[in-house]
Structure 1
Amino acid sequence: MPDFTAADVKRLRDATGAGMMDCKKALTEADGDYDKAIEFLRIKGAKDVGKRLERSTTNGLVVSRENVLLELDCETDFVAKNKDFSALAERLLDVVLTAKPADVPALLATDVDGQTVAELMESESARIGEKLVLSRFAVFEGQTATYLHKRATDLPPAIGVAVQYSAGTADAARSLAMHIAAARPRYLTREEVPAETVETERRVAEQTAKEEGKPEQAITKIVEGRVNAYYKDFVLLEQPSIVEPKRTVKQVIADAGLTVDRFVRFEVGQL
């Protein structure tokens, strides 16, 4: 028997939206391998699996100041809107701006008021009564537009976007940041998409076409079409513009004279 537990089934079900029996079958077929089980469900037609994988129920907030974006997570929305929790996030921004750590481990090891940031997090976690996680941060150089989005009016921002640009206006860059918040791109250009990700999309598309009984001579074209559809979903410059849906983001920002160097999008609960 494949080695997986009820918790594995629940994790797969939560991630994909597939039925419990379908998840059990997928894990069985995949010998308990989570990633292979997801691929199996995609081939078998589980709808929007790739997009559902982006979602989670984790709580927290995203804060921004002076070209720095930072995500701090907690367990409940009650704590997420707590003033002490927000103050901790702002304090962490101060440390990033002052110490300029290279990554999260370096930030956690940074001294602040006689203790490390990791120790500060532990003490605040004990005081607030929930597990707190410093998820990630990003620091941008040069011209940067930021946008923070709230999922609900009574909660702090849960989505944050920073766009670094070298030509164009601040208004155009902020408009693009708002598009990124809503459209969830993962990459700026298709060249940034990892080769293994493209290969997985090709394999899933080919197996899906065969499962659907498509003619052998049509499969190559079908695979290319579905890979291109992946690019349109997740590559920023190839996405349809939310402002002008009949045009791509690349076309819209070209007309605006905007040159994008890089971007990040943080959403609480989404890696």
Structure 2
Amino acid sequence: MPAFTAADVKRLRDATGAGMMDAKKALTEADGEYDKAIELLRIKGAKDVGKRLERSTTNGIVVSKHGALLELDCETDFVAKNADFVALAERLIEIVLEQSPATLDDLMAVQVEGQTVAQLIESESARIGEKLVLSRFATFEGPTAVYLHKRATDLPPAIGVAVQYQGGDEEAARSLAMHIAAARPRYLTREEVPAEAVETERRVAEQTAKEEGKPEQAIVKIVEGRVNAYYKDFVLLEQPSITEPKRTVKQIVDEAGLTVQRFARFEVGQA
């Protein structure tokens, strides 16, 4: 039997985040050699990462700093509230602010203490024991209002909204961010809606009206009504206000003197 103590097991666990049985097994296989045991655990962790590739990541956290947003996903809510996982998300958003990557691929390639961000996440995934996915990030310039929403009091924020604006005041902008969190708009104006999305709505409306036997002369009006309903659902400035449903968001922000330049809404587990 290799000679190692409970203190050796604790030291190995503290260094790697491995479970007690995994640490004992590694020390046994390594004949009590600490460095070799670490190597064995790293190999096991890498294999486990591979096994986790197909798992779903429907939990996680949205963090914000200086107007930037970042979403880091995991498999369970247990890990989502783990201090190491939260610290990783906070470290990643610091990297975003320091390095100003243009894309997610650029961020994953950033070098941090001798490894890339992608390798850092893979290493933490092996240590924590769950698949971790850096889903997206966004940065903003100028006045930006941020709202973070928790799905449960014991969990970290799962929805994050940032609104870049001019004019008005921070209170009005934050109120708008809260509306965005609840109403889930996809676009700021109808001009941003992809033409193919509009054409899909038109086709669906036209085909549905025909199958329902609507008069030919009514179909054009029905199609336009459906397209307008789509805009009201997904275009921020055309949505009914959550706080004043009889008024549009545009009417609310215009009255507040607020000009919305762009926004981002991240929700854990949602595209």
Give the TM-score taking structure 1 as reference length.
0.78
Question: Structure 2: any 5+ residue segments left out of the alignment?
Answer: 1-55
Deviation at 1:67, TM superposition (A): 1.2
3-state DSSP of counterpart to 2:197: helix
Quick one: distance in 2 between partners of 1:176 and 1:96? 25
Deviation at 1:57, TM superposition (A): 7.5
Deviation at 1:166, TM superposition (A): 1.3
Match of 2:37 in 1: none
Deviations 1:92-146 (A, max 9, x none): 0110111111111111100111111111001000001111000000000000000
Deviations 1:51-72 (A, max 9, x none): xxxxx97111100000110000
Match of 1:24 in 2: none
Match of 2:171 in 1: 171
- The letter of the residue matching 2:164 is Q
In structure 2, the CA distance between the partners of 1:57 and 1:212, relative to structure 1 (3 Å rule), is farther
Quick one: distance in 2 between partners of 1:211 and 1:57? 40
**Structure 2 residue 146 is the aligned partner of structure 1 residue 150:** no
3-state DSSP of counterpart to 2:130: coil
Quick one: distance in 2 between partners of 1:225 and 1:193? 16
Deviation at 1:77, TM superposition (A): 1.0
Deviation at 1:154, TM superposition (A): 1.2
Match of 2:109 in 1: 109
3-state DSSP of counterpart to 2:265: strand
Match of 1:67 in 2: 67
3-state DSSP of counterpart to 1:69: strand
Q: Report the count of equivalent residues.
A: 216
Match of 1:200 in 2: 200
Quick one: distance in 1 between partners of 2:148 and 2:171? 15
Match of 2:191 in 1: 191
Deviations 1:172-213 (A, max 9, x none): 000000000000000000000000000001001111111222
3-state DSSP of counterpart to 2:78: helix
Quick one: distance in 2 between partners of 1:193 and 1:116? 35
Query: Identity of aligned pairs, percent?
Result: 81
**Structure 2 residue 251 is the aligned partner of structure 1 residue 248:** no
Quick one: distance in 1 between partners of 2:252 and 2:84? 41
3-state DSSP of counterpart to 1:252: helix
Preserved contact between residue 62 and residue 71 of structure 2 (Cα < 8 Å): yes
Which structure 1 residue ranges, 4+ long, deviate > 3 Å from structure 2? none
Deviation at 1:251, TM superposition (A): 0.3
Deviation at 1:149, TM superposition (A): 0.4
Deviations 1:7-65 (A, max 9, x none): xxxxxxxxxxxxxxxxxxxxxxxxxxxxxxxxxxxxxxxxxxxxxxxxx9711110000
Which structure has the larger Rg over C-alpha atoms? 2
3-state DSSP of counterpart to 1:62: strand
Deviations 1:204-224 (A, max 9, x none): 111111122211110110000
In structure 2, the CA distance between the partners of 1:116 and 1:57, relative to structure 1 (3 Å rule), is closer
Quick one: distance in 2 between partners of 1:151 and 1:209? 39
Quick one: distance in 1 between partners of 2:242 and 2:194? 25
TM alignment of 1:84-163, pairs within 5 A: 84-163=84-163
Quick one: distance in 2 between partners of 1:62 and 1:155? 11
- The letter of the residue matching 2:106 is A
Give the TM-score taking structure 2 as reference length.
0.78
